[in-house]
Structure 1
């Protein structure tokens, strides 16, 4: 595709060099640049693409997009200024035979260029975007299950995986960069998908990763203070504003009427609005809700009311928050042709990896894996599990490094109030000291009087937790969910909760042949 074709619908400030160059790919990492690539300089949290321009030029970039803020106007030319060099743009063009596009916002430019490069695949699909502090993944899985039951070939982009209709890829971010999104959407089109269900994070909206996509349906589930801090959002107001952008980027907005912030989410909306609720009149509601355990599984059932229709639903996902997720999915599915039968059959069997997932059906105690990694999710999860009246509720969790520090003490406080025993351990410490993260969590739990221990090594923590568990206890491993890695100092090491549970189960000091002295040693550990 020629550069002038890519630039046709892009708002930019200036272009120097030939616009007829053939562009073979679009890159935003200089290491991916090959002969004929268009390199877009993005400014990230830890690096600025403008400082890697030299490497992109040496690798054969045919064109580059730079931010106007890095350009100093001169009389007859302009100076490109970065930390590494300051040279005239004309000199760069003469030396490297490259075209230079100056854009006000290179992130916006990447989104628009990627959409054009892949021939606007979102326009060829029915697009559903889901945002919310919690529940995005579960709602995406539930809606995808309903749509597939109704005969749609559905792709999905989200926290757990990318499904392009011809195989599933592991996900790195909830909402990938704009280039990857457009690439996945194009693959869905090529593979015969007619619909895409996408989790749209606040970061994805803030970083303009979904610019150029107009959603047929946008869904708002809920919002609570989270993702606030260095590298995320400056304030709750910014967090809320970023999520609200989805309501100005969709045709139909389906929103949670029970969330106290919904009115602010809808400020300035340009979509038609429909609602779901448990406590107020709405377009989709639920009644006669009950949760129960059957054959070792935690289940939920309710009657759903959509306009004048009322029909029963049964799910393998318990908890009021999952009823909300189901209502949101049902509301969206109705606009995409799903029937009551499709809803009932799909929700009865739908499961979500690492979301309140029972990984051991035992006569003695239950082990659940859940992705809860903020105060709101952990509180809802533990309150729901308390309703099943376990003898003791034991929770193991940590907090991610380089994320909101406020989250840590709040999660500690929540666990201290709701769990009988809390085991503090590492999540993804990233670039922080795991022990300092545990100190922050401990600040919150210490004042509750709740019993807790600290075991930074997650493998040892899981082994300790399982050694602690007794008959009719419920053990929750929270925070990691489906993740199969632990991120430490920029490296992702293999680590899976499922494997940790199996390792502990096979340990000689577990099971029927348990060495009681060893168990007592574990149980006598103190903070």
Structure 2
């Protein structure tokens, strides 16, 4: 019997379901339309549009406002019912693949790319879902509107991966996805915990709630319904919340640890950093990644541990780590022959901004200039912390817009400036392109320019508009225009 009450109701009423969606514009005859009420839009306002397009069934948390010509189901938990329906409709695709879920505040994307590269080197056909995009066997399927997509999108993608011959899936699992049941019915073989830092308190409200959301991924491994035979939790033994997870899982789930300071199963030694990448060894075996920073050693260790759990041998691990050219928007170096270094990074918290400064510290010959802003309609408490970190660590700060969304940019600046009261090494340039160009114009030979906050994103959210904007494109355009000065 189907685990989906929605599909059961459809079958009982003679409806042949042809598709599932929460976007009324995507409805076709026979579709089930889930009228989701979100923070910015209410699907219940589009029920008439869905019906006009042929919806065979409407699912909503609310009773119908008027008689409905199609089948109507009032759901007590629409997130759960949507996940149940997607899992069944798309043929339970995750059951047939090795599933690795990666969660934590920082490092998810880099670990996913590293692990994908290792598993590919080991001969697996890999699907990958994360913050940058969704991929199958190295080919991009689509850009990623969410780190972990909604259940309807997620199971459709997993079905494509399964039908395309993938035997393994590597996916970033956000705290939002865990809280909103997007990954319900995905039984994981491996779960990876990176770290826990201040973030997303606008959604979770307390740090404890944030941790408990992350913990759900590991409870998935311990769940008696999880039929995967060799379930393993891969955990950062240096992180305080990693230590807490290890205690909670003791005797319930097999664990493998990684770290640099604590006793761990995967521990790096002999770390050497250059602008070309980072070298280290694990149990005497030399490894190299083309990524910068001590934090990426942690990410590489996590990927090595998860790959080993999956059966990858040492040779594949070494090859896979070395093969990855970089991760989009993660300390991504832009080099057009200029006599100073430019990095584009996704840092959008004070901790990740501090990490970006730590990464370039060994290569510092001149000044450090940083361009950054804070996203609108997001956690306001981190704004003054980011302002203070920027001014205390950089020689010059260019404060600009990130994704202001529907919040007043001046209010965002005011919040950031509260942490910059004791400094004068900054200027405010609201236009992001102008701020980037100003930093590049000011850069001298030997300087380092960090452009933080947006990373891989190729858009800017201003009001309700999504405009094309890329930090990388802006940098390259300016550097190429000025190239004759450097040659």
Bin the TM-score by the shorter chain. Answer: over 0.9
Shift of 1:34: 1.8
* Residue of structure 2 in register with 1:396 after alignment: 371
When residues 16 and 311 of structure 1 are mapped into structure 2, their CA distance, relative to the original with a 3 A threshold, is closer
Assess if the C-alpha contact under 8 Å between 1:164 and 1:184 holds in 2.
no
1:481 matches 2:475: no
Distance of 2:40 and 2:90 partners within structure 1:
29
Matching residue within 383, 390, 415 for 2:390: 415
CA contact (8 A) 1:12 1:104 kept: no
Tell me the equivalent position of 1:522.
Answer: none
1:197 matched residue in structure 2: 170
Q: Does the aligned pair in 2 maintain the 1:369–1:477 contact within 8 Å?
A: yes
Structure 1 residues 267-416: aligned runs within 5 Å: 269=249, 270-293=252-275, 297=276, 299-305=277-283, 310-350=284-324, 351-360=326-335, 362=337, 364-416=339-391
Match of 2:90 in 1: 118
Which blocks of at least 5 consecutive residues in structure 1 are unaligned? 71-79, 515-527
CA deviation profile, 1:482-506 (whole Å, cap 9, x unmatched): 1111111222111111211122224
1:22 is displaced (CA, Å) by 0.2
Q: 1:256 — aligned with what? A: 236
Question: What does residue 163 of structure 1 align with?
Answer: 135
The superposition leaves residues 240-288 of structure 1 with CA deviations (integer Å, 9 ceiling, x where unpaired) of: 1111110111331111111112244457545322211111111111111
Note if contact 1:143-1:329 (Cα within 8 Å) is conserved in structure 2: yes
Choose 325-334 or 494-503, whichever is displaced more: 494-503
> In the alignment, is the contact (CA less than 8 A) between 2:32 and 2:59 conserved in 1?
yes
Matches of 1:13 and 1:325 in 2, distance apart?
41
- Normalised by the size of structure 1, how large is the TM-score? 0.85
The residue that corresponds to 2:225 in the other structure is none
Report if aligned partners of 1:248, 1:271 keep a CA contact under 8 Å in 2.
no
Query: Take 1:10 and 1:267, find their aligned partners in 2: how far apart are those partners?
Result: 35
| Secondary structure at the counterpart of residue 493 of structure 1 | strand
Distance apart, 1:465 and its partner CA: 0.5
Using the size of structure 2 for normalisation, the TM-score is: 0.92
Q: How many residue pairs were aligned?
A: 474
Where does residue 44 of structure 1 map in the other structure? 38
Kept after mapping to 1: 8 A contact 2:336/2:479: no
Are residues 483 and 16 of structure 1, via their aligned partners in 2, closer, same or farther at CA, if it must alter by over 3 Å?
A: closer
Q: Retained in 2: the 8 A contact 1:423–1:454? A: yes
2-side partners of 1:244 and 1:146: how far apart? Answer: 26
Shift of 1:104: 2.1
Contact 1:421/1:450, CA 8 A, preserved across alignment: no
Contact 2:341 2:447 in 1 (8 A): yes
- Aligned-CA RMSD value: 2.2
Using the alignment, how far apart are the partners of 1:143 and 1:441 within structure 2? Answer: 36
What is the CA–CA distance in structure 2 between the aligned matches of 1:228 and 1:422, rounded to whole Å?
26
Q: How far off its partner does 1:405 sit?
A: 0.8
- Alignment of 1:233 with 2:215, yes or no, is no
Alpha-carbon distance in 1 for matches of 2:365, 2:402 = 25
